[in-house]
Structure 1
Amino acid sequence: MEISFVSTDVSLKTISGVGEKMYEKLSELGLYTVNDALYHLPSSYRDMTIIPISEVNPDETATVEGVVETTPAVVYFRGGKNRLTVFVTVDGVYLKVMFFNQPFLRNVLSIGDKVMITGKVDLNKQEIKGQSVSKDSDETLKVRYSLQQRMHMKTFQNILKKIFETHPIEYKLPDEITEKYQLMPVDQALYIMHFPESQEVLTHARRTIKFMELFEFQLKIMERRKKERIRNPHYIVDYDNDQLKAFIQTLPFELTEDQKKTTNEICRDLRDNVSMHRLLQGDVGSGKTVVSGIATYAIKTIGEQTALMVPTEVLAKQHYESFTELFGDKLNITLLTASTTKKTRNDVLNQLADGSCDLVIGTHALIEDDIVFDKLSLIIVDEQHRFGVNQRNRLIAKASRRNVLYMTATPIPRTLSITTYGDMDVSTIKTMPKGRRPVITKHHTFDDLDIILNMIASELNKGYSIYVVAPLIEESETIEVENVNEIFEFFIDAFGKENVELVHGQLKADEKAERMARFESLEKKILISTTVIEVGINVPNATLMLIYNAERYGLSTLHQLRGRVGRSDVQSYCILLSNPKTENAHMRMQIMTETTDGFVLSERDLEMRGPGDYFGVRQSGLPQFKVANLIEDYRILEHARQSAIAHVSKGG
């Protein structure tokens, strides 16, 4: 997170006392300019508030005040380690104080010195294991910097003092913001972060710096949003409203309130003279397909085209089947993937070029250079976080009107919605279609395998299908987990080879599709699989999912997997199977059994894993803040966002 406190990047070489050697040490820390040093904030603060010896709890780290009674003595051990011992009187109690590997203190401490000692106090042994010592009784908070032993803390603080004396900080938050939220001037807050007077004042300063970071980031998002929103009368999609209403009336079900709301939001975007840049989020099975189909039909009413790009062939095929089943008599829909035959591909290319194709559903194959559209006016990108920015932009570049609708079945936590997706408008479907029963989720350990097998046998006897998810393809020497091949053999022994199918990511695409088809057609009733089934397979007959080593997955992945069952009006089940020895698994398993709300789970997952790993990989575009925390400081983030929007709207 780059914030400029001084208008130009003034080199640290210009600071008095910073010679070539010191500059070299600073540059090794990544500090080259005045801004770098000012924003190299303390990594921690130690409370040096003096506590009376009688109030110190056993084995508590505390700061006490005393008088040095003896000359320090240093004893050296093998390997260069050493211990310094000195006796002090604290509140009338004579104590032995030991400092390990701080021999320089013998030149600091003299008999009669009044000192503050921080360390672990043991009154029974009448000793203190010292951590630090200071003669400055006014120092109530001791700062610590990450300096990688390149220099002393005091040396770095002296450099900072000279910077504050000679380089006034020019960055200021707008007056109306500092007044409204009772913030400090930024220069004062930054000084206090380096030279804190008290815990209370430091808390105020930290809140100011947090707001500044989040406000600056929101301004950048507003700028990015402005670039995305291209304003041009050409982007107005003047769809036929009467035709669209008639189309919605032909649907075999009534839209949920959330579907109606999100459809209206998308249609308003299409009628606007600004290019659409909207995220449609909703749990698996919430009805995003229907909403995107209505948007596609709106485009058709003006004789133009829609493209839907998805990350996998399996998902492309599922979407093609879903769209064809719902809208096949109203829209001309085609499918284009890497495995599409040459003849079919040529037919699709001709339909795209002459405008007879209303909707093409495909994978990365859609971005190939020879794909040319007649008039592409709506682009839908599903599970957009699985695509790179360049891949999305290559498809967008083919559009006549730049209207982009992103879809995700991974509910986005509010914090990430404001940060990672802050440049988009967000539509959310929370209500599920009528008739869907929540999936009952149970947690078991491997000790309960007999109980689980009986549940599976019961569902099979009723004619239903079963998913079994395994975390690995091959054996691992370092991780104790069942692998997919072992589980496959186990289920063949239990239920017969004629009932069990195996699918994993190392299979060739056509072989994987063949095996999936046998499960989808109910020829095979048990599918043993890795997480390749997380998205893109739809078998309403499946009523039970067993997830081996569930403790190895994040909450969002478990929720995505669970979304493969519960796709009919029949009660469905998800069984989380974990190793009883695994630490910290119980909390996640408990959360999964308590709620089926993907938005609640996404918030808990973010809390447990942190924003950087929410999608399983480091999500590009996530800001790295020095002080602010996206999870803990959500309220400040909300206020910073509102302030940034207001500031930009005023022309700030």
Structure 2
Amino acid sequence: MPVMYQVITPPTPIEDLKGVGPKLRDKLLELDIKDVNDVVFTLPSGHENLTVMDLREAAHNDKVTVAGTIQTEPALAYFRGGKNRLTVFMEINGMYVKVIFFNQPYLKDKLKVGETVKISGKFQRHKLEINAQRLIYDDSGGYRVKYSLGGVMHSKTFSKLVAQVFENAIFNYDLPEDLKGKYRLLSIREALWRLHFPGNPHDINEARRTIKFYELFIFQLQLMEKRRRERVRNERYIVDYDVGALRTFIDTLPFELTDDQKRSVNEICRDLKQNVSMHRLLQGDVGSGKTIVAGIASYAVKTIGEQTALMVPTEVLANQHFQSFLEIFDGLLNIAKLTGNTSKKEKAGILAALRSGEIDLVIGTHALIEDDVAFNRLSLIITDEQHRFGVNQRKRLNDRAYRKNVLYMTATPIPRTLSITTFGDMDISIIKEMPKGRKPVETYWRRFEETDEVLDALEAEMKKGHNAYIVAPLIEESETLDLKNVQEIFQVFTDRFGEENVELVHGRMKPDEKEAGMRRFESHEKPVLVSTTVIEVGINVPNATFMVIFNAERFGLSTLHQLRGRVGRSDKQSYCVLISDPKTENAKLRMDIMTSTTDGFELSERDLEMRGPGDYFGVRQSGLPQFKVADLAEDYRVLEHARMSAIEYSAKMEGDG
């Protein structure tokens, strides 16, 4: 959902601006600059302060603009590859300073002894040296504004277009006066003007703060409007389930639900009783018990004789859920599994049973959205790891519902800022609490030369009758990356523990091969599983207590946490060992973070800070808003204030209406 950047009406097309001919118009259109709103919201990519400062007041590594007198003839030195360095000494504010220009040999004839010039660059205070970026010919001072325009035109030319818009356009939209007063915000027109034509650093900071709030406030209003459109009231949406039967079922469970599970069940069941379609996200850290919550919701729907569909992204996860639900319900629900690997004969029987209403719960992959799949009365749709499905795929299943109640589940703890922006049109239930008896997974970081010690520790776990996961980042050897591949690691472990004890599973295997390998591992026929990240989500082997992740620096925090979540799923103490020789500070930091906490929600916040919101899920999310100024990783407080303001403003508008 794009953020609304319409503050000028009518939105005059760019071709109507003075100086914009057909060629320039076409180039601007390539940059998605179509009208005057796009012009004023094409914000500077940087501001260079050209105001001359006193170098004595500058700190080490400060970017400075200074004026001084040239003391020596410039010396030009050339290096291999045509690179060069121009060195000159200047007197600046009473200091004798060495000034270096890289790859600007043409300046040699422009720097004359005794002349006063103005330069900008980075000041190395301890060396009394300036790494100069450029010689400044403009004596006006102030700021030099830079735009990212893909070579279409110079920043100075574009700046004239911006000035023309401000001179002639009428800004019709502004933030509500009470919000501007409450948060000390500028008008939208003034904020945009200060960003394009700043007078001082305070101007820029105040302007950025205003535009951040505007973006987040408008986006929250748009989400609320989307929510209103989708939540049409209709008595047909009510699932009037049998409360008594549901309570009896919960009482028969062989364990007590955690407080977070109880709260989530209550929130979902309350939604089902409403005359508005449910649209809820169930977040739960790995191993927190989301499956039983989804199962209880499915049973609620069963009490009125209607159906639930659970769609998952992989065959492995479908098999896992199918087995889990069979154990949970033990004949109380008629459950079927439908995947791309289901035989034609079996599929025909399942499709017929779905149409007749004989099946209460169907668990499947993308096979659930094939054209020949039809339901009797589908009243609850559960989508697991929903971000792995496209919007159209989810919609195809949702459109088949009789009562459109949708529950999304994810084992990826999502930072609050992303929850509000990406899932702001949903209600959210969160399970943080772990089931009783679970012990935190002890996590260690080891280097490759310590692998033998890790194997000794793994062997000790095997002697206790426990299983172990071994994770590699690649399937085959890479010519460009120095990584341990899964085939090589498989050989290491078979050499040490024997081929009869080690199973190999990876994403390029056929589904039936993967399933057979997983069965051998789960049954303890082969207690060690060497795998790629195919085991990241949904695999549940309570007997597994040991995990080794090779080249752990190649994974993000969320993926590492998801992998670690495959162990620690019983009352046995479990261990996760990260084997890595990180080459960067960022990679070392990830190893330190992973060994310091097992809290998935804390890790998700750190992951957001390190990777940025666009790549948080491993791929850039098309549904994630692209803001001009606001940064979801940094502007959490602004987002919260904007969200609350949008809620209050929307309620006021409804009341006035």
- State the TM-score, normalized to the length of structure 1: 0.92
Match of 1:537 in 2: 539
Name the structure 2 match of 1:482: 484
Shift in Å at residue 566 of structure 1?
0.9
* Whole-angstrom CA distance in 1 between matches of 2:595 and 2:200: 45
Q: Residues 209, 525 of structure 1: CA spacing in aligned structure 2 closer, same or farther, 3 A cutoff?
A: same
SS of alignment partner, residue 624 of structure 2: coil
Q: Which residue of 2 aligns with 1:598?
A: 600
Matched with 2:448 is 446
Question: Residue 274 of structure 1 aligns to a residue in which SS?
Answer: coil
- Contact 2:242 2:300 (8 Å CA) reproduced: yes
Distance 2:264 2:441 in 1: 25
Give the letter for the 1:250 counterpart. T
Report the Cα distance in structure 2 between the residues aligned to 1:254 and 1:436, rounded to whole angstroms. Answer: 14
Change (3 A) 1:98 1:463: closer
Per the alignment, do residues 47 and 308 of structure 1 end up closer, same or farther by CA in structure 2, a change over 3 Å counting? same
What are the equivalent positions in structure 2 for 1:24-103 lying under 5 Å apart? 26-27=28-29, 29-56=31-58, 61-66=63-68, 90-91=92-93
Between 52-61 and 543-552, report the one with greater CA deviation.
52-61
Paired letter, 2:569: R
Deviations along 1:102-123, whole A, 9 cap, x unmatched?
7999999999998653235689
State the partner residue of 1:16: 18
CA contact (8 A) 1:299 1:378 kept: yes
Match of 1:294 among 293, 296, 302: 296
Matching residue within 178, 181, 202 for 2:180: 178
CA distance in 2, matches of 1:149, 1:11: 21
| More divergent stretch after superposition (494-503 vs 122-131) | 122-131
Maintained 8 Å contact 1:556/1:605: yes
SS at structure 2 position matched to 1:437? coil
**Conserved 8 A contact 2:4-2:219:** no
Which residue is 2:590 aligned to? 588
Counterpart pick for 1:392 among 387, 391, 394: 394
Residue in structure 1 matching 2:436, options 434, 437, 453: 434
Give the TM-score of the pair, scaled to structure 2.
0.91
Is the contact made by 2:217 and 2:642 (CA closer than 8 Å) also made in structure 1?
Answer: yes
In structure 1, C-alpha distance between the alignment counterparts of 2:539 and 2:123, rounded to whole Å: 62
Q: 2:164, 2:200 → 1: CA distance?
A: 22
Deviations 1:441-486 (Å, cap 9, x if unpaired)?
1110111011111101101111111111111111111111111111
Larger CA deviation: 450-459 vs 87-96: 87-96
- 1:349, CA displacement in angstroms? 2.1
Aligned-partner Cα distance in 2 for 1:28–1:430: 46
SS at match of 2:653: coil
Contact 1:279–1:427 (Cα < 8 Å) also in 2: yes
Q: CA deviation at 1:92?
A: 5.8
The structure-2 alpha-carbon separation of the partners of 1:488 and 1:122, relative to structure 1 and needing over 3 Å to count, comes to closer
Q: In the aligned structure 2, how far is the partner of 1:349 from the partner of 1:523?
A: 35
Alignment of 1:405-484 (within 5 A): 405-484=407-486
**Paired positions, count:** 650
Deviation at 1:622, TM superposition (A): 0.9
Aligned to 2:262: 260
Check whether the contact 2:354–2:374 (CA below 8 A) recurs between aligned residues: yes
Following superposition, the deviation at residue 567 of structure 1 comes to 1.1
Q: Tell me, yes or no, if the aligned pair for 1:74 and 1:103 is still in contact at 8 Å.
A: no
- Alignment map for 1:109-148 (pairs within 5 Å): 116-120=118-122, 129=132, 131-133=134-136, 135-136=138-139, 139=142, 141-148=143-150
- How far apart are 1:217 and its partner, in Å? 1.6
Distance of aligned partners of 1:504 and 1:97 in 2 relative to their CA distance in 1, 3 Å threshold? closer
Deviation at 1:518, TM superposition (A): 0.8
* Aligned counterpart, 1:625: 627
Counterparts of 1:105 and 1:169 in 2: how far apart (Å)?
45
Q: SS where residue 299 of structure 1 aligns?
A: helix
Unpaired segments ≥5 residues, structure 2: none
Q: Would you say the 8 A contact 2:121–2:130 is kept in 1? A: no
Which amino acid letter does the alignment assign opposite residue 46 of structure 1?
A: E
In structure 2, C-alpha distance between the alignment counterparts of 1:494 and 1:349, rounded to whole Å: 48
- Bigger drift between 362-371 and 437-446 goes to 362-371
Return closer, same or farther for 1:138/1:241 CA change in 2, 3 Å cut-off. same
CA shift in 2, pair 1:104/1:170, >3 Å: farther
Cα distance in 2 for partners of 1:260, 1:121 equals: 60
Question: What residue number does 1:156 align with?
Answer: 158
Q: What is the Cα deviation at residue 152 of structure 1? A: 3.7
On the 8 A contact 1:50/1:64 being kept in 2, the answer is: yes
Deviation at 1:80, TM superposition (A): 11
Cα 1:105–1:626, aligned 2, differ >3 Å: closer, same or farther? farther
**Segment of structure 1 superposing worse, 496-505 or 61-70:** 61-70
Task: Go from structure 1 to structure 2 and tell me whether the alpha carbon gap of 1:392 and 1:201 turns closer, same or farther (over 3 Å shift).
Answer: same
User: How large is the RMSD of aligned CA atoms in angstroms?
Assistant: 3.1
2:240 is aligned to 238
Contact 2:117 2:135 in 1 (8 A): no
Distance in structure 2 (CA, Å) of the matches to 1:507 and 1:130: 54
Contact 1:119/1:132, CA 8 A, preserved across alignment? no
| Separation (CA, whole Å) in 2 of partners of 1:320 and 1:256 | 23
Q: Give the whole-Å Cα distance in 2 for the aligned partners of 1:373 and 1:385.
A: 24
- Displacement of 1:425 in angstroms is 0.6
Q: 2:307 & 2:405 partners in 1: Cα distance?
A: 11
Counterpart of 2:328 in structure 1 is 326
State the Cα deviation string for residues 368-422 of structure 1 (Å, max 9, x = none). 2222211111111111111111111111111110000000111111111011111
SS at match of 1:651: helix
Offset at residue 207 of structure 1 (A): 0.3
Amino acid at match of 1:391: Q
Partner of 2:203: 201
The residue type paired with residue 406 of structure 1 is Y
Deviates more, 1:569-578 or 1:170-179: 170-179
Percent of aligned pairs sharing the same letter: 59
Q: Residue type matched to 2:346 in 1?
A: T
Contact 1:115 1:136 in 2 (8 A): no
Name the CA shift for 1:295/1:632 in 2 (closer, same or farther; >3 Å): same
Pair 1:201–1:501, CA change in 2 (3 A): same
- The question of whether the paired residues in 2 share the 8 Å contact of 1:332 and 1:357 is answered with yes
Change (3 A) 1:81 1:353: closer
> Relative to 1, partners in 2 of residues 1:132 and 1:493: Cα closer, same or farther, differing over 3 Å?
same
Residue equivalent to 1:503: 505
After TM superposition, give the deviation of residue 63 of structure 1 in Å: 2.0
Q: Greater CA deviation, 359-368 or 51-60?
A: 51-60
1:640 and 2:642 correspond? yes
Tell me if structure 2 keeps the 8 A contact 1:278–1:404. yes
Could you give the per-residue CA deviations for residues 500-524 of structure 1, whole angstroms, max 9, x where no partner exists?
1111111111111111111111111
Name the counterpart of 2:351.
Answer: 349
Which amino acid is the alignment partner of residue 244 of structure 1?
Answer: L
Amino acid at match of 2:572: V
Q: Distance in 2 between matches of 1:121 and 1:408?
A: 49
Which amino acid is 1:131 matched to? R
Q: State the Cα deviation string for residues 574-596 of structure 1 (Å, max 9, x = none).
A: 11111355653221111111111
Aligned equivalent of 2:227: 225
Tell me, what secondary structure is at the counterpart of 1:584? helix
| Contact preservation (8 Å) 1:499, 1:524 | yes
What SS does the aligned partner of 2:542 have?
coil
Instruction: For residue 55 of structure 1, report the CA deviation from its aligned partner.
Output: 3.8
Q: Deviations over 1:589-632 (max 9, x none)?
A: 11111111111111111111111111111111111111111111
